[in-house]
Amino acid sequence: MAEEKPDYRLLTGEDTHDFCVRVSKALAEGYILYGSPSATFDPNKNQMLVAQAVVRPDVLRGT
């Protein structure tokens, strides 16, 4: 039995090309963006951290 995709995922990480690829991959798997992206700066590591929620489309339809 194939593992079922979760209804909701919160993708987080450094603001890099790899993060953008992860979000793009989720979209290609059928997820849609949910809400606005979020970003914060970590001065201890001198890096920007980002987050983007994605959901399966059927979640928004209530099925």
Q: What are the tens digits of pLDDT across the range 3-62?
A: 788 999 999 999 999 999 999 999 999 999 999 999 999 999 999 999 999 999 988 876
Rounded Cα distance, 18 and 35, in Å: 21
User: Is residue 1, in this structure, part of any structural domain at all?
Assistant: no
User: Is residue 35, in this structure, part of any structural domain at all?
Assistant: yes
> What's the pLDDT at 23?
98
Radius of gyration from C-alpha coordinates of the chain:
14
> What's the pLDDT at 43?
97
DSSP 56: -
Ramachandran angles phi, psi of 8, nearest 5°: -130, 140
> What's the pLDDT at 29?
96
User: Is residue 2, in this structure, part of any structural domain at all?
Assistant: no
User: Is residue 12, in this structure, part of any structural domain at all?
Assistant: yes
Q: Please give the tally of structural domains in the chain.
A: 1
Residue 19: domain span: 8-61
- Kindly tell me the number of DSSP H helices and DSSP E strands found in the chain: 2, 3
